[in-house]
Each structure stands twice: as structure tokens, then as C-alpha cells.
Amino acid sequence: METVNTRTHHEGAISLEKRDFSVRSDLPESELSYRLSTGVPQLDEIMQGGYIPQRSYMIRGDPGAGKTTMGLHFLVAGAARGEMTLYITVGESEEHIRKNASSIGLSLKDVAFLDLSTNTEFLTEIELSPSPLEQELRKSISISEMIIQQIKELKPQRVFLDSMTQLRLISPDSFQLRKQVIAFLRFLIEQEATVLFTSESIDDSAENDLLVVCDGVINLRSAKVGRTISITKFRGSDFSSGEHDMQLTGEGLQVFPRLLLQTVDLEFEHEVISSGIPELDEMLHGGLNRGTITIITGPSGVGKTTLGLQFMKEMAGRGEHSIVYIFEEWKQVLINRCESLNIPIRSMIENRTFSIGQIEPLHYRPDEFAYKVRCDVERQKTAIVMIDSVSGYSLSINAEDLVRHLHTLCKYLQSISIAVLLINETETITTHEFRATDLGISYVADNILFLRYFERGGEMRKGIGVLKKRLTDFEQTMREIEITRYGLKIGKPLAEMRDILRIPHLGSDSI
């Protein structure tokens, strides 16, 4: 391990701004195709594989945003590949950094350090110096010499400078330091190093020179609703735009890439997913098509979840996997309820044809939840994903734009031929106004099944109907539905019933 003591000043140091270096922006295509991992697999995905070698990248963000952690991942990933890595610290001491890295499980034993942080010796030097200005100038020159010497000796492939803001503060002349910093970055690139450096400034005007000279800009932001990461510049490469959810955990940085959908012509498979109930399949003219989005809507307690689980039960019988994400009900309660309705959910789980994801309130950000769903469905041959319920999703996920996030998630699942079931609870029970949803999401659905309460013979009964089916025709009448210990039972069309649906006016999602 390499550690450099920078406490002694040296006269006659070479000033970096006097050198003439140029950034290698014309690397061969074979070199551009090779990437250096960021140390965070999901960030590699956002950056189309990682950093382009022998270039410089700025990490911007307020204090505590995760800039240092991101640099640590970068160096540890390089050390794991046997590469020479160098951490240049201007703010925190090496000892402090190593302790912090160890606390999140990152070992820096193979990472070299150039410690430029100040200590009590530096305060003594200032007191003895005849001129504070002369002291700063000497320190700036000493730092330049030490950096050059260490880089030439180690020839590191990865360099992390933390932070550029602190390096600026120790210089009495901002113009000269600007020239020196730019020359320093060019010098590192000439030495065939890939450079990350941090900045605590989010003001473009203050960092304009660095924004121009660096090859990439990564922004880390902390807000009330959570942390995000975004890329606003990546020279020579495409990347996933927009803000992506991020967390700082006990294992370091975790990034959750946004689901970005491409405009494609979806070719729906003609395969139909049967409910296993002949009367319901008759209403749907066969069942639900694979790769479609279905809203099952109705008031509380009418049987929406049970109806969705019926389709999953049938897919389990065919050996295909389904997942339900529950936001309002405990997992064990759902299991017990299903067993009482002749849905063998325990055996489905044991046979790995069914999974339950219980989502804790306010635990996930939208991109984090979408990434969890994506990982879940890609690990298994998933046929159906059910969100139970949309209102629970809106309360549990820290989403500023619920409809947009839900739309993106559903369309992603649809694009990989997964059937999506959205359980939607309406506020109305017996009023005359019939509304498909209360959140304005009916436009995303290929199919809409609705359940209603109605009165007959002084008894509260339940009815089911099909409001929309995009790919085929469907039965226009309603039928009575019962939930029994043997499962769902659907009767004949309610031809004699009138005014089950009465429509006084149309709203955004009124039918």
C-alpha cells in the first residue's frame, strides 16, 4: 500500500499550468468499446457499461450527497481487478476515510493514498510563516510537485480526487488555480489514468471551466422525498437520461435505474389466460390475453383481489409463475384467506409458481419499486403481476407523479408479455354514479372488469361485468358473482335487472 506524507514543503516545484497537455478525445473505436466499471452495477447500466477509460468525470452534489462513497466504489472495483488506484484527498484525512469505507464494507487495503489534508502541523507552519500569502503559495507549489511525483511513480489507472472544491480554497489566486486544475486533469489523462473528481458546487457559472474540460458530469441530489442521481454530460457515449432513485446504505451506494420505454409496435400473443371459471371465460370470450393490462375495479370487499388470484391459480396449474404485490394486507392474512376460498396458495408458493411481495408503507421510491419488480420478473418465468391495490401503491410509494410511474411500470411489463392486473378500489358502493377509477388511470387499461353491489329481494348481492376488452369482443351483460368456500361462483346473465348502472354525468373516468 502507498501513502505519501505531504507535510514538508519543497522549493522549486514545477507549476502545472506551465505545461502543455491535451486531452485524448480521439481514442480508437476498440478503446471506446471498453468500459471501466463504476463499482455499482446499476450505475454501469445507466452509463451503458461504465466510464470510458482515460477520461475525466465530475461528481457534483451537496455535502453528504454520496460523492465520496461513489468514488470509493470506483477505486475498490479497480483494485479488485488488479489495477493501480490512487485516492487524492484534500479535505478528510486518510485515516478518517479508511474508517468510513470499512463501515460500509469497502476495503481500501489495495488503494494508494495521497493525503493533502491539513492537520495541526499546518497550523504551526502558518504561525511561523512571515507571510500567510507566501505560506499558501508554497503549499500550492508543494501540492503540485507531490501530485506529479506520485502519479509518475505509481502510474495509476484510476484516480479519485476529493475534493476539487477544497483544492480551490487553498489557493489565493482563483485564476491561477483554474489553469492549474485544468492542466492537472490533462496531465492525468496523458498518464493514461481515468479520473473522478468531486465538487460541492451546483452552480454552473462557478464550475463552468470544469464543466467544459471534463468528459462527464454526474449529479447527486438529496431532497425531502429521497436521493437521486443523474447524468447531464457523457462525452462519447449514450446514457439513460433523467433522475434515477438512489440510496446510501450500510453496503454503500445503491442505484435504481428508471424504466425507460422505447416506442415499439407491440405484437400481442394470441394465447389466452383462462380464469378456470367457464362462466367468466365466457364473459371475456375466452379469458385475458397475455401481455395486456387489466383493471379490476369496485368497492371494498366485493372480491377484486380474489378475482385476480383466480387467474394466478390457473397459471400456477400450468407451471407458470405469478407475483402479487400487496400494500394494504398482511402476507399471512392473504394466505389464510386464499386457503379458505379453495386457492391453494401455500402449495403454489412451495412449487415456486407464486410469490407475494409485501410492500411497507413509504419504504420505496418509485424507481426503487419498479427496479424490484423488474428483478423479480426477470429471475422467473412470470406470467402475471398484480398490484393490490392502486390506492395502496399511491400511499406507500413516495411518488410525485403517481400516474406517470404506474403507467411506465405497466407498459414495461406489457412489453415483455406479462399480464398486469391492477386492483382499483372505488369510493362509491351503492350511489348512482359509476366511476371506473378515482385516479384517472383507466386510459392505460386494455381490459376493465368491474364489480358492483346491488340489492335484490332485500339482500345485498354482488355483480360482475366487463366494461372494456381491447383485443376481442366481450359479453355485454352483468352476472352475479359469489365468493364461497369452494371458490368463485358466477351465475347466469342478470337479464331481468335494471338500473344497476345509472349515469347522471360523465367525469374523467366516469362511464
Q: What is the pLDDT of residues 174-224, one digit of tens each?
A: 666 667 777 888 888 888 999 999 988 666 555 677 788 889 999 999 877
CATH of 274-493 among 3.40.630.30, 3.40.50.720, 3.20.20.70, 3.40.50.300: 3.40.50.300
Q: Which of 327, 375, 323 is nearest to 349 (CA)?
A: 323
pLDDT at 501: 56
- Cell readout for 429 is 358502493
Domains of the chain by residue range: 3-256, 274-493
| CA distances, 117 to each of 6, 160, 401, 447 (Å) | 9, 14, 44, 63
Quick one: what percent of the chain has pLDDT higher than 90? Answer: 54
For cell 352476472, what's the residue?
479
Q: What is the pLDDT of residues 23-76, one digit of tens each?
A: 334 444 444 458 999 999 999 999 999 999 999 999 999 888 999 999 999 999
| DSSP secondary structure code for residue 65 in this structure | S
480's CB contacts (< 8 A; 6+ apart) are 461, 462, 463, 464, 490, 491, 494
Q: What is the pLDDT of residues 203-213, one digit of tens each?
A: 655 567 778 88
31's CB contacts (< 8 A; 6+ apart) are 53, 54
Spatial separation of the C-alpha atoms in residues 392 and 424, rounded to whole Å: 9
| CA distances, 147 to each of 5, 57, 456 (Å) | 11, 18, 86
CATH of 3-256 among 3.40.50.300, 3.60.21.10, 1.10.260.40, 3.40.50.720: 3.40.50.300
225 vs 92, residue with greater confidence: 92
User: What mean pLDDT do residues 357-370 have?
Assistant: 88
pLDDT at 473: 93
Q: What is the pLDDT of residues 114-153, one digit of tens each?
A: 988 765 344 344 444 444 544 444 555 566 677 788 888 9
pLDDT at 170: 54
| DSSP secondary structure code for residue 444 in this structure | G
Q: Which of 194, 157, 243 is nearest to 50 (CA)?
A: 194
Average pLDDT along the chain? 82
Spatial separation of the C-alpha atoms in residues 310 and 322, rounded to whole Å: 11
- Intrachain domains 3-256 and 274-493 with the same fold: yes
* Tally of CA atoms within 13 A in the half-sphere of 389 that contains its CB: 22
pLDDT higher than threshold 60 for residue 172: no
Q: What is the pLDDT of residues 341-352, one digit of tens each?
A: 999 999 999 999
Helix runs in 380-498, H state only: 390-396, 402-415
Region of poorest pLDDT, from 269-278, 319-328, 385-394: 269-278
503 vs 421, residue with greater confidence: 421
Q: Which of 385, 383, 374, 378 is nearest to 269 (CA)?
A: 383
Spatial separation of the C-alpha atoms in residues 486 and 276, rounded to whole Å: 13
User: What mean pLDDT do residues 273-299 have?
Assistant: 95
* pLDDT band (50, 70, 90) for residue 394: confident
* pLDDT band (50, 70, 90) for residue 325: very high
